[in-house]
Structure 1
Amino acid sequence: MSGAPEDLAERPVHGVRGEPFRRLLTTWTATSVADGVRAAALPLYAAVSTRDPVSVSAVAAAEVVPWLLIALPAGALVDRMRCRGTLVAAHSFRAVVTLLLVWFVHSGQTGTFVLLGCAFLLSSAETFADSATQSLLVSAAGERELERANGRFVGAETIGVEIAGPLAAAGLFAWRPELCFAVTALAFGFAAVWILRVSPEVEPVRAAERRSMAGEIRQGAVFVLSSPGLRAVVGTVGLVALLTSAVNAIAVLFVLESLGLAPSTVPTLLVCTAAGTLVASRTTAGLSTRFGGAPVMTGALLVLAGGVAALELVRLPGAAWGAYFLMGFGAGTWNVLSSANRQRLTPGPMMGRVTSAYRVFAWGLMPLGAAAAGPLAEVTSPATVIVVAALSIAVVAGFCAPVLRRSLP
């Protein structure tokens, strides 16, 4: 009996206050800043070094393509491996690739193919890291605190990818472009070391229970589509992503031409979006506890629709900044709760496959929305595209509300 208190004290504490979650959140924050620097610096360097629109768009595409080509097999492989080891390998690989990019940039040997290869490899490794992180998040936070844990993650990602990363990239790029990638490599290297002490580990799928790779990928996709809760969430996300990508594609042109804003003010609109998301990351767990997850998710979509509509319908000073804040708050609230419910509905051994399948289904329509926005705005007007998108998001919210109430825990 005398040894019981010591044994109890040595057990890892679960929840957002526990050491495992804090270490995982620190790792996520570091890599989010690294991703923010890379997302800003790599296309910019491609533009400056090549002066070729085709090369710039190809590099941008190379950063997205792995989420469609690599994510599904990556999720299946993550379920077969130790998540902590997967993260160490993924972050170490990204550190090495960005160090090579530092050397190429410093020596002046960066061509289009080098930039394409680095962009593709970095995003490919990110698909492994994302799936493994989702599994460790559930085990470190515990099921009862998933909303709070995902709020912390959304907040850290917003600060890193949308605020700190781009600001750091702007300063470093003006000094020496290769420093952007050196800082990125340092952050990935730190993450690879820091993650080593995250526990508890998630048990991989046993060899006796494994299927073929194609069979396991299919199993993850079928689980997403056959689970009423996941099907409702991913269907809603897919439709809303289609509509918001259309808005994002023409919103800058709209605020410049129709609202008469100066080009220098456009970055401040994006900061307002990030601010709305940050507020959502801190308040969503409390709102869900008080009002229930499904009603808050429906309300988040209506707030998002209201923010989109306000861009066109409210012609008052400062309205555009308020509209972007509302869009960030609505999207952030939805992301926190949809992530928590996806994790809660997914068996632990399938987290990697379900996460990757969810990403593909949810994001697969985004290129279509972005591609369709321009021609539709040309035939009608940018304002028409924005208003139709806002109304469509509100209709989606109305249709999904009863489904979410029935199918979510």
Structure 2
Amino acid sequence: MTSTSDGVEDRIVRGVRGRAFRRLLATWTATSMADGVRAAALPLYTAVSTRDPLSVSAVAVAEVVPWLLIALPAGALVDRLPCRGTLIPAHSFRCVVTLLLAGFIHAGAAPLPVLLGCAFLLSGAETFADSAAQSLLVSTAGESELERANGRFVGVETVGVEIAGPLAAAGLFGWRPALCFALTAVAFAFAAVWTSRVPGEVEPVRGAGSRSIAVEIREGMGFLLRQHALRTVVGVVGLVALLTSAVNAIAVLFALESLGLSPGAVPTLLVCTALGTLLASRTASALSGRFGGGAVMIAALVVLALGIAALDLVRLPGAAWLAYFVMGFGAGTWNVLSAANRQRLTPRPMMGRVTSAHRVLAWGLMPLGAGMAGPLAEFTSPAAVILGAAVLVGVTALFSAPALRALSPLGAE
């Protein structure tokens, strides 16, 4: 803090109603919208322009690989650098890359190497921006309001990535595909400018940065593995990512063949998931305050397991939409509260490294879950994969319950 009156300064800049957090949330809203447009438009443009499934798959891999290769060193660097000094260049870089991509597409000269390079560079910059934004979230919201802050982040991210972004991409792509990426560039430009307006007083404390990046990565991973409660929270995140990605990979085929849904109705299931997540983003903090963060996190895993199981067990009209809504509510509640508790359990100088390790675990296991789902469904059935995932989520809730119950009572404030 630069003020001589820390208490007054805290009242000015800390908390979800403070100027600093509101400006950070505005930048998160813009970048979530940009990510939603890109996530819909880039694979669609690749498919339309190449008509090659291998090319579409390669671009998808290029978007994921930076989370496995770059995220850990990015987290270590974020722990050394000012958050705003990381976010502004990252958003600006993504703005420039998407503008170049829009130019290539408008000129009709966007071959596969360009698409691969842009996908990799955009995700690579995102690894820096994501860790820095998470660190800044903690310092702008304050420890006592982490549940509310993460609820707002999850809410705007859900709207941007899963609803508004894809809808905007669908509307613009039919007109001019290049406009999708031009809109994305504008959103990143806004985020860069608005990040510069976040007060500098909220910058978190940084480490000395005198050791090598490799040593600092090992230190962060070592802390995560030694700290029992943190290891439990991050471990459950990875397991849930593995299992839900397996369900998502096979659910479309299951909905068509077993539930008898039309192809046009299948995307509405994902909208129901988003609506459930939105409800969770608004209620998770209140539920945590009423019943305790650990208890609600356990309940969220149980609700998620019941939603997955209902997808197969309750084959009544409308049940699939309700099951997806329940899944979204359970997963959304877990995401809000697990993020808040992970942040609370992590020392401020290690926030970037632990956040990156969490992302690597989640993103690393999601492709594995999706890859396992097909062979398992072929060997058994899609219904068996879905029910198996539901049982395993329930077992995860049971075995993690003691550690989750013991989480800091601050989570219930």
Q: TM-score, normalised by structure 1?
A: 0.96
C-alpha displacement at 1:364, in angstroms? 2.1
Using a 3 Å threshold, how does the CA distance of structure 1 residues 144 and 203 change in structure 2: closer, same or farther? closer
Residue-by-residue CA offset, 1:37-85 (whole Å, 9 max, x unaligned)? 0000000000000111100000011111111111000001111111001
The amino acid of 1:227's aligned partner reads: Q
C-alpha displacement at 1:401, in angstroms? 0.6
C-alpha displacement at 1:203, in angstroms? 4.4
Please tell me whether the aligned partners of residues 272 and 321 of structure 2 are also in contact (alpha carbons under 8 angstroms).
yes
Q: Superposition pairs for residues 135-154 of structure 1, below 5 Å?
A: 135-154=135-154
The answer for the alignment partner of 1:179 in structure 2 is 179
The answer for the alignment partner of 1:74 in structure 2 is 74
Using a 3 Å threshold, how does the CA distance of structure 1 residues 203 and 388 change in structure 2: closer, same or farther? closer
Q: Superposition pairs for residues 82-97 of structure 1, below 5 Å?
A: 82-97=82-97
The amino acid of 2:186's aligned partner reads: L
> Which segment drifts farther, 236-245 or 297-306?
236-245
Indicate the SS of the match to 2:33.
Answer: helix
Please tell me whether the aligned partners of residues 135 and 204 of structure 2 are also in contact (alpha carbons under 8 angstroms).
no
Q: Distance in 1 between the 2:304 and 2:154 partners?
A: 17
Q: Distance in 2 between the 1:77 and 1:374 partners?
A: 38
The answer for the alignment partner of 2:281 in structure 1 is 281
The answer for the alignment partner of 2:131 in structure 1 is 131
Please tell me whether the aligned partners of residues 294 and 407 of structure 2 are also in contact (alpha carbons under 8 angstroms).
no
Residue-by-residue CA offset, 1:327-364 (whole Å, 9 max, x unaligned)? 10000000000100011111111111111012112332
Q: TM-score, normalised by structure 2?
A: 0.95
The amino acid of 2:311's aligned partner reads: L
Residue-by-residue CA offset, 1:208-252 (whole Å, 9 max, x unaligned)? x53111001111111111111110111111112111111111000
Please tell me whether the aligned partners of residues 23 and 194 of structure 1 are also in contact (alpha carbons under 8 angstroms).
yes
| Residue 165, structure 1, aligned to residue 174, structure 2 | no
Q: Distance in 2 between the 1:104 and 1:370 partners?
A: 32
The answer for the alignment partner of 2:387 in structure 1 is 387
Indicate the SS of the match to 1:175.
Answer: coil
Indicate the SS of the match to 2:79.
Answer: helix
The amino acid of 1:124's aligned partner reads: G
> Which segment drifts farther, 193-202 or 373-382?
193-202
Structural RMSD (CA):
1.6
The amino acid of 1:205's aligned partner reads: R
Using a 3 Å threshold, how does the CA distance of structure 1 residues 299 and 47 change in structure 2: closer, same or farther? same
> Which segment drifts farther, 171-180 or 103-112?
103-112
Indicate the SS of the match to 2:206.
Answer: coil
The amino acid of 1:380's aligned partner reads: T
Using a 3 Å threshold, how does the CA distance of structure 1 residues 305 and 45 change in structure 2: closer, same or farther? same
Q: Superposition pairs for residues 8-407 of structure 1, below 5 Å?
A: 8=8, 12-199=12-199, 200-203=201-204, 205-207=206-208, 209-407=209-407
Count of aligned residue pairs for this structure pair = 404
Q: Distance in 2 between the 1:253 and 1:32 partners?
A: 28
C-alpha displacement at 1:368, in angstroms? 1.4
Q: Equivalent pairs: percent with the same residue?
A: 74
Structure 1, unmatched stretches of 5+, are none
